Structure 1
Amino acid sequence: MEVKRHKAAIRRHEHSLPVKCLVRDQLVNKHRAMFDFGCGHGDDLAALKAEGIECGGFDPAFRPDAPKLSAPVVNLGFVLNVIEDVQERADTLKEAWQLAEQVLCVAARILVSDQSGGDVEYGDGVLTRIGTFQKYFTQAELRQYVEATLGQECFPAAPGVFYVFRDEELKSNYLASKYHRRIAAPRKRIAEVRYEAHREVLDALIEAITELGRLPEPDEFALSEQVVDTFGSLKRAFGLIRRVTSEDDWERVRKQRSEDLLVYLALANFGVRPKFSELSIKFQRDVKAFFANYKNACNEADRLMFRAGDPDEIDAACKRSSIGRLCPSSLWIHESVRDQLEPLLRIYEGCARAYLGSIEDANLIKLHRFSGKVSYLACPDFDSVPHPITTETTKVWLRTLRVGYYETKSRIDPPLLDRKNRMLDTEDDRRSKFERLTNQEVKHGLLRDEDDFLTQSVWQENLQALGFEHRGHRLIKSSQNQSKPKVSLPKRCPRYGVGKRIGGAVYVHRQYEHVLGKVVVEAKGKLPAEFEYTVVKHNEMNGNVSFIHCPDFDTAHEPSTGGYAVVHLDGGIKLHPAFADPYIYHHKWLFVADDYQGFDIAESQQRSLEWMMLDHVDKSRIGRLSYWNTEVEPRLTQSPDQGWLRSAEVRKRLKLTTCALAHLRDSGKIRFKKKGNAYLYRVDDRSDE
């Protein structure tokens, strides 16, 4: 069977992923040329040349006569995965490595999910429908293959993209630059005549010291000779600088730069930590300035790495972080503030990045507080939409180095992001606009500190109930008709014909667990003998199956959860006791089919309609028994008009005129409803504004 390799080459209208990485990481620029080994149609080359970057390329199908040239950077992009011959594949990798003077970039297709789509097995890969060969690697397999073939350590730049360095100093600088953050230089607080006379050179020295976190050596500062001629030494010049700035600011700069070095050394353990002699001169000087010697620095870095593996340490660090939106099980940050986290969290996140590289289009990072996971999320509408959704998620399990990729934009009722201001730096220009919206939503009861992200439907219901809508990043009174909307019952999960879908999970009564297929059968086999359960939950996002005891399922309108067991996708099982304040299930008739005999289906549906028609119900809290019993249940058992007063009684109690009462009603400062031609009021709910 003939393999048509040339058909694997595709036309591009932007840089390929490996070239994007090389340009992003400044490994390819106007001063460092690239040779594209397997350049296909040459679209990457044309784009680089248009940017003034020297480059060349070879391709056996499209540029067979072009010479194979050595270059500082060689790109072997998506070549290995289309070579069906195992020996030729290895020889090609070795040949590209021989041409690389400083760094080789290797990229290959990685396996995201079942991508066969009717492809035919062929050798160690598949033969596609158009006759091309594809070898799909996992991230770990590609790394192992490159390192085993070349006998060199490689470093991830992105999923499916790795760098192999020949130039040790370039490698050291590249790795350290990934953890070298930008720091604002200390500001001058007082005027000083001598400083003003030499402002230009001293301002330059301030920038140099801020960049290094220490006093530069003469060869690290271009104006050293001028400073020495004027002040006698760099140290004396810095003494003048300290007089016009703040000593605390310089201590902060030194601390932050020493933290950058610790993060670098801690994460260097993902591969082979360099010997002191292999560090660049700059980093050798950093080590001596901040830690006295390399052993001290490495010991401190190792202690941080050890702590990063402790869920309690990570949880505590997330709680004390001044940056990020803290959720019950995670901390969310914008990618732009990643380096402003404390070192422990930088290392925790850095472990995922050291394995996977940078994720294209991911602008949010979710640090899981307890489960040892880091997620990278794409949120394209983060800036423009007040409560946007995420569209893609890449999740890394740090304990097993498993990677999951999820498309999330098509979820039926997605969670909406809130408190975006907390995900940003205090100096970010967007923060004030986002913070203003958050403050409005907290003031009007739409957000509470303990809330997780609310779903789209909950937001819509809460906004409608309180009479608000969003206009950009502002909360305004709704211009729509405020009459109570018509209530309609939810529908059973259409995929199975039974079950309640909540987020990415489906809940069914055990009588109907068979509809979920063999995943439940296999998980059920892991349960302890005599384990009692009533409800089965299948989490379609991570594959976990939960078996939940619900003793009052048939007798209570809103049954409460008891103890439960979670069987993980890898076969592990964890038993959980009942919560002190248990969750409750609404619309329990969704969990069963109409043939269920345990309770009256029609009566349960009527119960759903009754509570759904209540106004001023916080949909984000009704899942807890305590809130339901104190705030909702009493209203379902009382007379519809109990607690409501007529206009005359309200005017008498509050000593109001008819006009004053109408003003309170029109301004929304008193709760009311209309019954026929009469207004009824709730005086106990009147706003004090």
Structure 2
Amino acid sequence: MGEAGWATERQRTAIARSRLSVPARQAFADGQLLSGRRILDFGCGRGDDVRALERLECHVTGWDPHFQPDSQRSPADVVLLTYVLNVIEDQVERRETLRAAWALATAVLVVSARLTWERSKVNGGQLGDGVVTGRRTFQHLFTTHELRQLVEDITGSRCVAAAPGIIYAFREETARLSYLARRIAPDLGWTGPDDPSTAVESLVRYVERRGRPPRLEEMPTAISEVIAKLRPAILRNLIRKTAHPELIEASARQSTLNTLLFLALELFNGRGRFTSLPLSIQWDIRAFFSSYQEACRRADRLLLKLRDDAYVRGAMSASRVGKLTPTALYVHRRAMDAMPTVLRLYEHCAAIAAGRPEEWTVVKLKHDGRAASWLHYPDFDSDPHPRVRSDYRVDLRTLEASHRSYEGSTNRPLLHRKHEFLAPDDPDTALYQRLTAEEVRAGLYANPHLIGTEAGWEAELARCGRDFRGHRLVKREWDHPSG
């Protein structure tokens, strides 16, 4: 990455930021940039991410061939390669840069790049496999599949798309699997005990939420020290007398389904050995299945069902959450975990292959063809008929992704019957149901083919003489010319 022989002015692509870049923010949220880890920002530009991470008490250094060429490039637990590959016009050097960053990463390499849908933001002429701008900067825009394939080729590891254009390459298989497990079922929290009775209470709550007793290794030290003093028979008797059996049974079913979802997703991404699984998953398998082989067989059948159009359509029809249309099922993010397991697998496979966007409100799963879209309605909770801002779509057949922004559109699609996107027990469902009933009585759904966009909906509101006050339908106050 030396300056000698550069055909373009790469340093001019280093923009100043007032906060963490999107890739660094994603890695921080995913628990990759822990305070105890050493972090290297490889190609750090002006060093804004380095300074922001320092404020978060991370142990971070930065190196850049133009702005910080004398900084040390020492091995680090986490190496960030943020929007560096885009600006390298030579394909061989691009690969060598990625290889150099991987050689320094002892735990995980975080690679990010700009994607092809940003082409309209890059003005310039074609040069090789990219664009040269008027400022003599170069941009190669990746497809999501191309970026993941490149990182996997260089690192030799099975990678995970953390978000669109952000790829994680882990050194250890156990770290990758732990990351996947957290995405499916976040770790259960514990409350610290003040005395032995509180420790037992915390243990009982864990059993009710997980469906099985925890191992000592899963417990916080303060709790395990108390629990270890109790004889197993006494502990089992306390759980039997204190825990609610129906909660344990329901949680055991959910933990079983989560384990199957994890194993099926892992098969989609390449399955590892039993001993490489997170310990909590190993203990779930021992608790809820007769063997690892049996769990894998059931997970394999689940993944096969994802390829069966009739089965997927049946699961969508049977789902207790989501709005079913002739082409797809639409589900709000708050209701995702209530979908049938095969549909949760559908969404997770798309997310692992090409990344789930940072901002989204509703996921759309096609009946057939296997494509998932994450739609962003930023005003879903406040607007009775929210307008879409963006649509990020992943095709599971090709693993390619596309993005559409509606920011400049004057006639955006909007939502109706908001309650149908949510779970029946969502606190907002009743409010949205009442609004829909009012709209039906007012005749606003008499012409469904007209109301899918802003212009058509406004015309129907005018025809019916209606307007909104929050999530209430009111008669429209017409303006009259003054006499």
CA shift, 1:241, in A, is 3.6
Identity, % of aligned positions: 36
Matches within 5 A, 1:146-295: 146-180=151-185, 199-210=197-208, 212-221=210-219, 222=221, 223-227=223-227, 229-230=229-230, 232-233=231-232, 236-295=234-293
Q: CA deviation at 1:388?
A: 1.0
Q: Within the alignment, does 1:457 sit opposite 2:448 as a pair?
A: no
Q: CA RMSD, aligned part only? A: 2.8
For structure 2, list consecutive stretches of 5 or more residues without a partner in the other structure: 1-5
Alpha-carbon distance change, 239 to 419 in structure 1, aligned in 2, over 3 angstroms: farther
1:415-494 to 2 correspondences below 5 Å = 415-426=413-424, 428-447=426-445, 454-480=452-478
CA offsets 1:491-536 (integer angstroms, 9 cap, x no match): xxxxxxxxxxxxxxxxxxxxxxxxxxxxxxxxxxxxxxxxxxxxxx
CA distance in 2, matches of 1:399, 1:296: 28
Q: Distance in 1 between matches of 2:370 and 2:327?
A: 11
**Aligned-partner SS, 1:475:** strand
Structure 1 unpaired stretches of 5+: 186-196, 484-689
Contact 1:108 1:137 in 2 (8 A): yes
Equivalent in 401, 404, 407 of residue 406 of structure 1? 404
- Does the residue aligned with 2:374 lie in a helix, a strand or coil? strand
Note the alpha carbon deviations across 1:28-71, whole angstroms, 9 max, x for none.
13233421001111111111112222211111111111111222
Counterparts of 1:416 and 1:123 in 2: how far apart (Å)? Answer: 41
SS of structure 1 residue aligned to 2:117: coil
Q: Is residue 68 of structure 1 aligned with residue 73 of structure 2?
A: yes
* Counterpart pick for 1:340 among 338, 341, 344: 338
SS in 2 for 1:406: strand
Separation in 1 of the partners of 2:227 and 2:7?
71
2:61 corresponds, among 47, 56, 61, to: 56
One of 29, 48, 62 as aligned partner of 1:24: 29
| Structure 1: distance between partners of 2:217 and 2:108 | 26
Check whether the contact 1:156–1:357 (CA below 8 A) recurs between aligned residues.
yes
Secondary structure of 2:116's counterpart equals coil
Q: Does 1:137 align with 2:142?
A: yes
Q: Is the 8 A contact 1:19 1:44 kept in 2?
A: yes
Q: CA deviation at 1:239?
A: 4.0
Check the 8 A contact 1:139/1:160 in 2, yes or no.
Answer: yes
Higher relative contact order by CA 8 Å / sep ≥ 6: 1 or 2? 2
Q: Deviations over 1:462-487 (max 9, x none)?
A: 3333332110111122232699xxxx
Shift of 1:164: 0.6
TM-score normalised by length of structure 2: 0.89
Which amino acid counterpart does residue 75 of structure 1 have in structure 2? L
Q: 2:45 aligns with which of 31, 40, 54?
A: 40
Name the CA shift for 1:82/1:465 in 2 (closer, same or farther; >3 Å): closer
Q: Give the counterpart letter for 1:255 in structure 2.
A: R
Label 1:319 to 1:202 Cα distance change in 2 as closer, same or farther (>3 A): same
Q: Residue 199 of structure 1: CA displacement?
A: 4.6
Match of 2:111 among 88, 93, 106: 106
User: Take 1:384 and 1:116, find their aligned partners in 2: how far apart are those partners?
Assistant: 31
- Summarize deviations over 1:664-685 as a string: whole Å, max 9, x none: xxxxxxxxxxxxxxxxxxxxxx
CA deviations 1:237-258 (Å, max 9, x no partner) are 3543444443222111011111
> Distance between the aligned counterparts of 2:466 and 2:189, measured in 1?
41
Stretch deviating more after TM superposition (14-23 or 399-408): 399-408
**Does the CA-based 8 Å contact 2:451-2:460 persist in structure 1?**
no
8 Å contact 2:82–2:111 — kept in the other structure?
Answer: yes
CA distance in 1, matches of 2:159, 2:263: 17
- d(CA) in 1 for partners of 2:16 and 2:479? 53
- 1:296 aligned residue (294, 297, 303): 294
Cα distance 1:283–1:469, how it changes in 2: closer, same or farther (>3 A)? Answer: same
